[in-house]
Each structure stands twice: as C-alpha cells, then as structure tokens.
Structure 1
Amino acid sequence: MGIYLDYNASAPIDERVLNEMIDVYKNAYGNADSRTHDYGENARKVVEEARERVARLLNVDKGEVFFTSGSTESNNIAILGLKEYAESTGKKHVITSAIEHKAVLSTVNSLKEQGFEVDIINPNEDGRVDINEITKKLRDDTLLVSLMHANNETGVIQPVKELGEILAEKGILFHVDATQTCGKLVPELKELKYNMLSLSAHKFSGPQGIGALVLRKKRYKLPPVKAIMYGGQQERGIRPGTTPIALVAGLGKACEIAEAEYKENYASLTAIKNAVIDLIEQSGLDYNVNGSQDYCMPNTINVSFAGVESEALMLSSKQYCGISNGSACTSHDYSPSYVLKAMGLDEDRLSEAIRISWGSKLDKDTMISEITKLLDVAKGLAG
C-alpha cells in the first residue's frame, strides 16, 4: 500500500483523539438532551467542553458554534438556511467561485433553479480568485458571498481576509469554507471577518462524520440562518438530530491539539514540502506546479508531469504511495478536474495532474524515499 498521501481527502485520526472518543463511548453514553438523569447531564458536559475547544481554536464565542455532520452539511445550512431571509428582503443574488467544493457549487445552483441570481467567478491561472472580480459583481441585492479559504485540489489560499473586510463594511453576508485550513492556518482564522464558517474534523486528524458551522453574532444576533431539516431543537434548532457525543468529543480534542501544536505542525509540513519540491526539481522530469506557491498550503502540491497521464501514474505507483488527482467527492472517475479547468490549464496539464497532500506527523525520510520511487515511476511512464 505504501504511505498515505491523500490527507486533503481525509487525514488519519490522531491516537489521542481516538482515545478520548473511546473513553466517551464507554463512560458518557447518555443523550445530551435527556434532562431527567445524570447520564444526560454528563453527556451534555462533554458536548459543551468540546464546543469551548472549537471556540478557542477559532477565537469565537462558544454560543456561535453549531455541530453538524461535516462541512458539506455546514455549507448547505449556511447557504440554504438564508432562503427565508432572502425572500423576505428581496436579496436574492449570490456570488461564489468556480473552484469551490461541490457542496457549495451544487447548493448555490439549487438556489439558481429557485429563482436566485448566481455569479460564479473563475480564478486566475495561478488558482487564486481576483478579489476585484468579486467586488465588481457586488450589488444592492447581493445576499451572500461564499469563498473557500484554501482550495482542496491545489492548496491555493484565497483572499478571504481582504474580502471579509470589504464585505463587513458593505453589510453583505460572507461564508468561508475553511475545510482545508481549520487546525492548520490557526492565526489567520482567528483574525478573519466572516458571518459563517464551515469545518470538518477529519481534515485535521479528527473523526469522520462530525464538523461545525460557526455563526458569528453581530449586535448579539446570529446571522438569519434557519434550519433546513426538521425533527428537534438540538443545536438550538439549527441542526436537529441526536448529538453524536463521542464524535463531538473527538472534534473538540482535535481542536485542542491543533491549538497547542499548530506552530510545530506548520514547520513540519513546510519542511516536508520543501523536500518534495527539491526532489521534483532534481528529477529531470518536465513538470508544472499547478497553483501559485506564493499563496499555498504547506501540506499540498498539485503537479503535472509532461507526458505522464495521472491515472497511469496513480495506478503504477500505488504500492509506494496513495495519491489522488483531485477531490475525493469526484474521484469515482478520471475526468479532468473542474478546478484546474476553471484555472484555464490546457488539456495535457489537466490529464497529467496529481495531488499530493500530507500530515505533520509523517516521517520526512520516509516521505523522501517513497516520493523518489513515485518519480522513478513517472520517469518510466514519460518514456
């Protein structure tokens, strides 16, 4: 199987997170919304401690944190949950980018089918959305701008800080998909201005199946987001359904670890990236890195090797490393990446692109050894 290098799809769970979850499964198995016995109270304490941990990581109030099943659900609530407000105010214009996750793109397209106007902005060839292209589209009836913090395929960091400042002044709602950056770009997230933010635990060594939607208060009021499902008043009515106590605890522990270790993690990720880039440069292969490295996550590189089809490379090197050619949500086929296509890359670079993503605890020497083998395979395929 080789080493796992698809952390942007899902990161291995941290053993400390797993141990905390096991303890909760064993000792806090009540329903957090049961009010008549201590078992419910104990479960509720676990949930609220986790909520505080998430809030500390993001520098928000714990009353602004709502647990969901992950970023896909958070994105859907953040966008579809504004529909009632949009119809009551007449603000039915939404702006997003062409490189968003399908959880955003499919959701805004569903609004378009319901009479909303949607502007979708293409990035530049470097993978970064031009903030001026967004601001030119702003209107009096603009309801929402939704932009990811960093792209899951290229790792390119988007200008959410600058955009947040502009939208705050104009009073336009801003949603940030922080799936790839939560737990990694910790200081940046603490300082961002936004109204809504989505995150998933499994992208930073927490469990799969749990995430959060952060709704920032303004003058003590939450954004006008309504539930899009019905069945209970859990999470103050924003997200009904029995709270998965152990998963919530796992998310909280992952946030606590990230808060304590993000500096050393960032340094480790960067050191590994520098080593990978050096290996690629020294390989003798003809290649193109897809996406600006001036604005890029330290754990991601998207690269096209000339004359080497990505499918062939992935299959021929899987005994050395597990890599991908894009989002896990579209990996059932090998069609060209819509993200890279939106960047305007030519057909060859599209078909040759692979994504390598890693974690901070990965041994650098092992990484160098296996990437060297990957590059040897690529040389053989390049002929």
Structure 2
Amino acid sequence: MGSVGSTAYYDCAATTPVDDRVAAEVLRLMTADFGNAGSRTHEVGAAAQAAVTAARTEVARAVGARADEVVFTSGATEADNIAVLGLAAEGERTDRRHVVVTAIEHKAVLEPAQELARRGFDVTVVAPHPDGAVRADDLLDAVRPDTLLVSLMHANNETGVIQPVAEVAAGLAGHEAWLHVDAAQTFGKLDEQLCDRRIDLISVSGHKVFAPQGVGALIARRRGYARVPLQPLTYGGGQERGLRAGTVPMPLVAGLGLAVRFAREERALRVKECLRVRDEVLHGLAPLDPVVNGAASNVLPHVLNLSLPGIDGEAVMVAWRGLLAVSNGSACTSASYSPSHVLTAMGLTTDRIRGALRLSWSHTAPDVDWPEAVRRAQGLR
C-alpha cells in the first residue's frame, strides 16, 4: 500500500488504500458468504446478519458507544446530512431554530446548514483563528437558549488542525443543544476524545480508516433512554432503526468493522510511523522554504498543509505527476478550482492560498525522491 505505479501516494486525507486484510475479507463476503442481512429465514441471511452485528459492535466499541447507537451509512457525508437535516423536524416542533457551525466545516455540514437556513433556521458560522483552530469560547458564546444543534469537526480535513471538541462538550453541559462531531479524519485515530457521551452524534467515514469507499456510520448516542430525535432522509425498508432505508451493504460494513479493529490494535505503531514520515516531508521540502498553514502543534500526525513561496500549488501538482500524488484541499470540492474556504476563513493571503498544498500519508507511506520533487518545484519559480 502507499503507491500507485511509480507515484508515491500522499493524499490519504482524501482516501486511504484499503488494508489488504480488509480487502480479502470483503471479497470473500462478496463472493462466498454474500447473504442479505435482512433475510432471517435461512442460515445464509443469518450469517450476514451476524457479520453486520459484529461490525456494529466494533464501531461502537471504538468510542465507548452502544452497538444499537450505530447506524451504518454510505459514508460521513450521508452521516453529516442525517445529523444536520434529520433534526429539522425537532427544531420546528420545539421552536428551536438556531444552529451553530464553524466556517471550516466540510461542505457536507455547511451545505445542509445552508439548507436549514433556506427553511427559516438561523445559522451562526464561527470563524477560526489564523492557526486554523476554532476557539471553544467563541463557539460557546454563539450558543443561545433556542440553539438546536452545534456541529464541530474533530480535525480539519485540509490542515489537520485538531479542534476543541472536549472543551465544547464540557461547555454544553446542562444545555439541550445536540452536539455533532464530524470525525471523518479522526475516527480510528483519536477515539479516546470521542468517548465523551456529551457528544451526541459522530460521523464516521470508512475510506479514511483503510476500509472500502462507500461505507461509514453515524453514531447517535442516547440521553438516558431517549434517542436523538432524528428523522430519516430516505424511506423504504426501515433498515438501521428506520434512519437509513436500503439493504445494508454487508461486505462493506464487515470491512469497516475489521478496519476499525486493526486501527485500535495498531494505533501506537501507526502514529509513530506517521510522525517519522512527517519529519521526512519537512526535511525533504526544506530547500523550498515551505510555510506551514495551521498550527504546528495540536495537529494530526499524518496531515501537512503548506505553501511554497513564489510557486503556484496547482503548477506543483502538475509538475509532481508520476512522482508524488498530493492535493490542494478537499477532494470533494477540488474539481471547482475555487479558493479553499478553510484557508480563506483563516485569513491567509491570496498568494498563500494559491500556493497551498496538502500532503497526507499513512503508516504505509512509500519513500519519496524528495530532491527530485524539489528540483521540479524550483523549476516553476
């Protein structure tokens, strides 16, 4: 894992390669034990249901949740939409029509929030500081008596900067607002910080933790005996406690569960290796005088956002083709070629934003010919 042909893959914040062990199990379940988990009248369906149950338990275990609090989805984007839009009816019923989000959220949160605004909700958007982190006090100061939802990502997908989830959760003690954390970049990596039961909703993405694309989860914790009052976005079948209609993709779900287990068992070794690679990246690109965007501390060990003075980021990515695969922001919006809303919200200059690159790797990252990468980039100045 870690390279495609001769190209070193350093875009793991967009998607990780599937763990070979996970891929083998998913293929086996697709071709040999391929039952529908909803078919309970025969042993093939029962085996499929057992595989889904085991995966649900594994995902829940990672953050100290109950298995029946895990709803499988197609990924974090769907989970985000259910978390945000699924509370709309509750907000209308209780006349709590205020939502707080941050300016650096993934578009999978910002656009559903914009949809709520179109429906008459009041949406407060909290800006980050120049280091890429939102301050807990700024966010909590925006909370009102009629606040329905607070949504805060655990770590930013472009800068890797970790956000003050624990402080926000503590600050919401005694308030009825639901707290949603988009953990697409941190689930399977910083799980201990997600164990706080004041965090009501957690979005999970399989393809950021070496599971297949197309599977994820929404963890919706109970408050006492009461479930989060979510309404489904799709109907027909009643699967996943009525919140996500459609046949559960059992092989993908099982693959997610297995990937989560490996992430838990191998976490310390993975972090150590990612930190080693981080040092190599910074050392290798040092001749280009890179400027790091975002906090140098309190950042994910495998994500680095930087700008190369005097060099356009798009041009660098083209120059590095066949050598090094990187990005300049979220893969979900990169096709638009619009300036990063995250770096813009941080108040960075236009030139710095234009020159930004995101390098993100894994514990399986291949070696890179950094002198060659530097030579190609210097040729653009």
When the two structures are superposed, what TM-score results if normalisation uses the length of structure 1?
0.96
Q: Give the match's secondary structure for 2:285.
A: helix
Is 1:124 the counterpart of 2:129? The answer is: yes
**Partners of 1:70 and 1:201 within 8 A in 2:** yes
Structure 1's unaligned 5+ residue stretches are none
Deviation at residue 167 of structure 1 after TM alignment: 1.4
Pairing 1:28-177 to 2, within 5 Å after superposition: 28-177=33-182
* Alignment partner, residue 375 of structure 2: 376
Deviation at residue 2 of structure 1 after TM alignment: 1.3
Is 1:292 the counterpart of 2:292? The answer is: no
Decide which moves more: 347-356 or 168-177: 168-177
Is 1:17 the counterpart of 2:16? The answer is: no
> What residue identity is the alignment partner of 2:8?
I
* Alignment partner, residue 3 of structure 2: none
Q: Give the match's secondary structure for 1:162.
A: helix
**Partners of 2:10 and 2:365 within 8 A in 1:** no
Q: Deviations over 1:264-283 (max 9, x none)?
A: 101111111122122333x1
Pairing 1:240-255 to 2, within 5 Å after superposition: 240-255=245-260
Q: Give the match's secondary structure for 1:332.
A: helix
Structure 2's unaligned 5+ residue stretches are 1-5
* Alignment partner, residue 320 of structure 2: 317
Q: Give the match's secondary structure for 1:301.
A: strand
Which of the numbers 327, 330, 338 marks the counterpart of 1:327?
Answer: 330
**Partners of 1:306 and 1:352 within 8 A in 2:** yes
How many residues get paired? 376
Deviation at residue 248 of structure 1 after TM alignment: 0.4
**Partners of 1:197 and 1:213 within 8 A in 2:** yes
Q: Give the match's secondary structure for 1:109.
A: helix
**CA RMSD across the alignment:** 1.2
Pairing 1:182-331 to 2, within 5 Å after superposition: 182-191=187-196, 193-281=198-286, 283=287, 285-331=288-334
> What residue identity is the alignment partner of 2:349?
D
Deviation at residue 192 of structure 1 after TM alignment: 6.5
Identity score, percent? 44
Q: Deviations over 1:9-53 (max 9, x none)?
A: 000000010011112113322211112211211110010011111
| Distance in 2 (alpha carbons) for counterparts of 1:190 and 1:279 | 37
Q: Give the match's secondary structure for 1:328.
A: coil
Q: Deviations over 1:66-87 (max 9, x none)?
A: 1000000000001111111111
| Distance in 1 (alpha carbons) for counterparts of 2:292 and 2:49 | 47
Deviation at residue 372 of structure 1 after TM alignment: 3.3
> What residue identity is the alignment partner of 2:222?
K
| Distance in 2 (alpha carbons) for counterparts of 1:287 and 1:321 | 17
> What residue identity is the alignment partner of 1:252?
G
| Distance in 2 (alpha carbons) for counterparts of 1:337 and 1:221 | 39
**Partners of 2:62 and 2:191 within 8 A in 1:** yes
| Distance in 2 (alpha carbons) for counterparts of 1:81 and 1:333 | 28
| Distance in 2 (alpha carbons) for counterparts of 1:213 and 1:331 | 25
**Partners of 1:174 and 1:195 within 8 A in 2:** yes
| Distance in 1 (alpha carbons) for counterparts of 2:197 and 2:14 | 24
Q: Which structure has more helix as a fraction of its residues?
A: 1
> What residue identity is the alignment partner of 1:121?
V
Q: Give the match's secondary structure for 2:90.
A: helix
| Distance in 1 (alpha carbons) for counterparts of 2:285 and 2:373 | 10
